[in-house]
Each structure stands twice: as structure tokens, then as C-alpha cells.
Structure 1
Amino acid sequence: MSDSAPQVLCLGEALVDRLGPLGCDPALAAPVDCDDRLGGAPANVACALARLGTPVAFIGRLGADDIGNNFQEMLGNRGVDLRGLQIDPQRPSRVVLVRRDSTGERVFQGFAGDRGEGFADQALNQTTLDPIWCALAAEACWLLIGTIPLATEASAATLRSAVSQAERDGVRIAIDVNWRPTFWDPSADPLAGPPPQALALMQPFLEKAGLIKLAKEEAEWLFSSSDPSEISASLPQQPDVLVTDGGHPVRWFLAGHKGSMTVLAPSQIVDTTGAGDAFTAGLLHQLVKLTPSTGQPLQLSAAVVEQLVRYAAACGALVCSGAGAIDPQPLPSMVVEFLEQLES
């Protein structure tokens, strides 16, 4: 564990991504042909931040099983603060079946390991978190959340409590929407948008966030627009907004500046799982250094904003060059070298 107090808190799911062979169904493939990788968006971001050098804590719940043990070892080795990690004695850690096409693009299509009581991440416990919140948040400037905890009553209640405490303590809220219909309904079409009930649950959090990251389709589902400035203007707090679109340009409205940038790409794409999480981590890593402690809006020039996004994009690109969401995450020196190569 890092000796420094966490500056970012990442709350949500930690799980295993079971990657099927390219072009094959992981539910039908032999286990020996699948590639199990530790993942989950908040856990991915925590690991990426730690590798970049930002003190970070992970708040989540895992089973008392091999996956939970592996996560504790991996997170601990990365230097992630684990005081917010809960271990569930009954429910297992979640295994997500990930189907990849021939280009590495993926679809989350179901789960494995449920013994009838659901998964540990669904039972994230508010009572367990409350006594340690103040210690975790003492020097934090960002709380990163997603929407998956809202799919289950217990984890949703814990998320609401954490966001309320963050607001009280002056910790800014960053949301990576990360819409995954399978987590809400295992029988749902993996490509379906959020139903009205899910949209209603998300809305209060969107209205509290200082930073919102969305994929283009998520932006259109939630706001009927993929223009970051329009999305920001539609919310009462007018947050900073970034919209990603796979291999198409990323667009932003950040610190009052609009912009777009062509996506950066590694020499070879192996797996896109976790690229968006690495992007988020790269952005937060930079913002931690620039976030005012007074709660005032970011005061950055357009040129600095573009540099922030470019750094984040480099983090996302480098993750695509390896399998899984965590193992390929770059060190700061790797990001700098990658950007210098692009400029040469």
C-alpha cells in the first residue's frame, strides 16, 4: 500500500473478464482456450492510477475465493489503498464472459460463477464503509464512480451514501457512465440502451458530477446529443464532459473549452478491454495536479486541456497493445515515450 493518502477514490466493481478466443463464444469455448483477466472499470482505473503514480484507494467487494485473493495481491502490489475493500464470505467474485471479434472489439454477454445469491460486488455494504470513509477521503479530491452499482439495491444504497459524503467533504465526483445492460438484466441484449428505470436512477448522479465521461452511444441515450458542450449545458452544474467514440475522434468540453482530437493508436491492437478506463485514469492523473482545493472550477487554457486529453488518449492506446485491462497499463515513462514517438 502506498504511504501517501489517496487523492482519488475508485468505487465499484472488481471482477474477472473471461476473454473468449477471437471470434468465438467464451460460454462455449473450453476453459483452456479462454483468457481470464482481472478487471472491472473502477478497479482498472485504480490500478492504472497507481501505475502512473497517483495515490489511489479502491472501494469494492470481492468473494472469499481465488479471484478475491488474486485481486488483493495484485492491487496491493500496485500500491492501491485497500482499506475500502470488503470480502464477502458467501457470494463469489463475478466472472464476466467477454466475446471478442476478429479486431479485438468486445461485447459483455453474461456471467459465470453465480451460486444462487448473486455476486459479491452487488452486496457492497454501506455500514462497513461508513466508519472508514473519513480516513479514506481525508486528502482525496476525486471520487470516481460508474453506473453498474445502481443495478442492485444494496450497492446502489452504498453508492448514494458515498456520493453524499463526498459532496459533504468537498470531494469532486467523476462519472464514467460505463453502461452495461447485462449487469441490469442478464438476458438483455448486450447492445441495448438503458431503459427508463435505469435512466431515472442515473440522473441524480449525473446532476452531481464535476466530470462525466461517456461513449458516444451513451451520450445519445442519456442526453439525445453527443456534443459535450450541449450535454454540459443541459445539467444544472454544467460539468466538464468528454465523449469517446471508439476509433473516431474524442471530443470534450473541459474548463470551458471545446475541442476534439484524433484517437491515438498503438502499432498493433490486441484487445480493447480497459482502454476507456486507462483513458479515464490518465485524465484523472493529470487533473489531480490541477484541481483547486477550494471547489472552484478548473482554470486551464485550451492548450493545456488538449495536452491533458492527449496524455489520457495515450494511456488508452497503450492498453490496447496487450491482453486484458490491467497488465498492459503503462508507466509514466511509457506514455511519454509513446507521445514522443508520435511527434517524431
Structure 2
Amino acid sequence: MSDSAPQVLCLGEALVDRLGPLGRDPATAAPQDCDDRLGGAPANVACALARLGTPVAFIGRLGSDVIGKNFHEMLSNRGVDLRGLQIDPHRPSRVVLVRRDSSGERVFQGFAGDRGEGFADQALNQTGLDPIWCALAAEARWLLVGTIPLASEASSSALLSAVNQAERDGLRIALDVNWRPTFWDPAADPLAGPPAQALALMRPLLEKAGLIKMAREEAQWLFNSSDPAEISASLSQQPDVLVTDGGHPVRWFVASHSGSMAVLAPPQIVDTTGAGDAFTAGLLHQLVALTPSIGQPLELSAAVVEQVVRYAAACGALVCAGAGAIDPQPLPCRVVEFLEQLDS
């Protein structure tokens, strides 16, 4: 664990993505034909931040199983603060079945390992978080959350409690929407938008976040718009907003500046898993240093905002050059080198 107090708290799921053979169902494929990868957006962001050099803590819940032990070892080796990690003695760590078509495109299509009580991440416990919150948040600037914990009663309660405490303590809330229908209903169409019940549960997060990152289709589902400035103006706190769109330009409204930028081409494309999480980590890594004291607005020039987004885009591009979401995450020297190569 890093000796420095965490600057960012990442709360949410840590899980295994079980990638099926191309064009085949991971639920029926032989284990040796599948590729299990540690993942989960908040865990991915925590690992990427640690590699970039930002002190970070992960808050989540894993099973007392091989997956849980592997995560603990990996997060510890990265230097992630694990005081907020809970171990569930009854529920297993979650395995997500990921079906890939012949081109490698992914669909989340269910889970494996449930023994009848659900998964450990669904049981994130508010009571277990309360005693250590003050220590974790003492010097933190940001709390990063997503919407997946809202799909289960216990984890939703823990998430909303943490958001309220962060707001009270002056931490800024970063929300990566990360809509995944399968986590709300395993039988749902993987391409479906959020139903009314999910939208109602998301609303308090949208109304408290100081920064919202979402994909273009998520922006359309939630706001009927993909214009970051229009989205920001629709919320009373007028948050910073970034909208990504796969290989199309990323758009933003940050520190009252609007802009857009073409995505950066990776050195090679091996796997796009975790590129968005690396982007989020690169963004927060830059913003931590720029975040003013409690109660002060984020005042940045348009040029600085563009530099921040470009750094984040470089982090995302570099992850595509390796397999999985975590292993290829770049060191800061590699990000700088990559950006210098693009400029030369």
C-alpha cells in the first residue's frame, strides 16, 4: 500500500470478465477456451491511477475465494489502499460472461458462480465502510463512482451513503455512468437503455456529481442530448461533462469551456477492454493536481482543459495495445513519450 494518503477513492465492483472464444458462448465453452481477466470499472481506474502515481483507495467487496485473493494481490502490488476492501465469507466474487462475435465486439450476457445469495459486490456494506471513511477521505479530492452498485439494495445504500459523506467532506464526485443492463436484469437486452426505475435511482448521482463521463448513447438515454454544455446546463450544479463516442471525437464542457478532439490512434489494437477506464484515470490523475481547495471552483483555461483531455486520451489509447484492462495500463513516462511521438 502506498504511504501517501489517497487522493482519489474508487468505489464499486471488482470482478472477472470471462471472455468466450470468438463467436462462441462462454457459458458452454470449455474453461481452457475462455480468457478470464480481472476487471470492473472502479477497480480498473484504481489500478490505472496507482500506475500513474496518484495515491488511490479502492472501496468494494470480494468473495473469500481465488478471485478475491488474486485481486487482493494485484491491487496490493499496484500500491492501491485496501482499507475499504471488504471480504464476503458467503458470496462469491462475480464472474461476468462476455460473448465476443467474430470481429471481437463484446456483449455482457450473464454471470457465473452464483450459489443462491448473489455476488459479493452486491453486498457492499455501509456499516463496514463507516468506521474507516474519515481515514480514507482525510486528504482525498475525488470520489469516483459508477451506476452498477445501484442495481442491488445493499450496495446502492453503501454507494449513496458514501456520496453523501463525500459531499459533506468536500470531495468532488466523479460519475462514470457505465450503464450495463445485464447487472440489473440478466435477461435484459444487452443493448437496451435504462428503464424508468434505473433512471430514478441514477438521478441523485447525476444531481450531485461535479464531473460526469458517459458514452454518447448514455447521454441520449439520460438527457436526450449528447451536447456536454447542454447536459451541464440541465443540472442545477452545472457539472463538468465529457461524452465519448468510440472511435469518434470526444466532446467536453469542462471549467466552462467547450471542446472536442479526435481520439488518439493506439500504437496497435490488441484489445479495447478498459480503454474508457484508463481515460477516466488519466483525467482524474491530471485533475487531482489541479483541484483547488474545498469549496473553490475548478478554474482552468481552455488550453489546459484540452491538455488534460489529451493526456486522458493517450492513457486510453495505450491500453488498447495490450490484452485486458489492467496489464497494459501505462506508466506516466510512457504517456509522455507517446504524446511526444504524436507531436514529432
- Cα offset, 1:104, TM superposition: 3.4
Cα distance in 1 for residues equivalent to 2:341 and 2:81:
33
2:285 corresponds in structure 1 to 285
1:45 corresponds in structure 2 to 45
The SS at the match of 2:175 is strand
- Cα offset, 1:106, TM superposition: 1.9
1:133 corresponds in structure 2 to 133
Cα distance in 2 for residues equivalent to 1:105 and 1:54:
32
1:221 corresponds in structure 2 to 221
Cα distance in 2 for residues equivalent to 1:230 and 1:25:
41
The SS at the match of 1:214 is strand
2:63 corresponds in structure 1 to 63
Cα distance in 1 for residues equivalent to 2:104 and 2:293:
41
Cα distance in 2 for residues equivalent to 1:87 and 1:36:
21
Cα distance in 2 for residues equivalent to 1:35 and 1:273:
13
Cα distance in 1 for residues equivalent to 2:316 and 2:83:
27
- Cα offset, 1:98, TM superposition: 1.4
Cα distance in 1 for residues equivalent to 2:65 and 2:258:
46
Letter in 2 for 1:95: V
Letter in 1 for 2:268: Q
The SS at the match of 1:62 is strand
The SS at the match of 2:108 is strand
Cα distance in 2 for residues equivalent to 1:8 and 1:267:
29
1:339 corresponds in structure 2 to 339
Letter in 2 for 1:11: L
Cα distance in 1 for residues equivalent to 2:18 and 2:152:
22
Letter in 2 for 1:133: W
1:185 corresponds in structure 2 to 185
1:251 corresponds in structure 2 to 251
1:314 corresponds in structure 2 to 314
Cα distance in 2 for residues equivalent to 1:93 and 1:270:
27
Show structure 2 runs of 5+ residues with no match. none
Cα distance in 2 for residues equivalent to 1:339 and 1:22:
33
Q: What are the equivalent positions in structure 2 for 1:169-184 lying under 5 Å apart?
A: 169-184=169-184
Contact 2:171-2:294 within 8 A present in 1 as well: no
Q: What are the equivalent positions in structure 2 for 1:87-98 lying under 5 Å apart?
A: 87-98=87-98
- Cα offset, 1:236, TM superposition: 0.3
Show structure 1 runs of 5+ residues with no match. none
2:264 corresponds in structure 1 to 264
Are residues 1:22 and 2:22 paired?
A: yes
* Identical positions, percent: 87
Letter in 1 for 2:143: L
Cα distance in 2 for residues equivalent to 1:105 and 1:187:
19
Contact 1:104-1:272 within 8 A present in 2 as well: no
The count of residues paired between Structure 1 and Structure 2 equals 344
> RMSD of the alignment, in Å?
0.9
Could you state the TM-score of these two structures normalised by the residue count of structure 1? 0.98
Contact 2:267-2:318 within 8 A present in 1 as well: no
1:74 corresponds in structure 2 to 74
2:109 corresponds in structure 1 to 109
- Cα offset, 1:338, TM superposition: 1.2
Letter in 1 for 2:83: R
- Cα offset, 1:172, TM superposition: 0.6
Cα distance in 2 for residues equivalent to 1:230 and 1:30:
48
Are residues 1:9 and 2:9 paired?
A: yes
Could you state the TM-score of these two structures normalised by the residue count of structure 2? 0.98
2:199 corresponds in structure 1 to 199
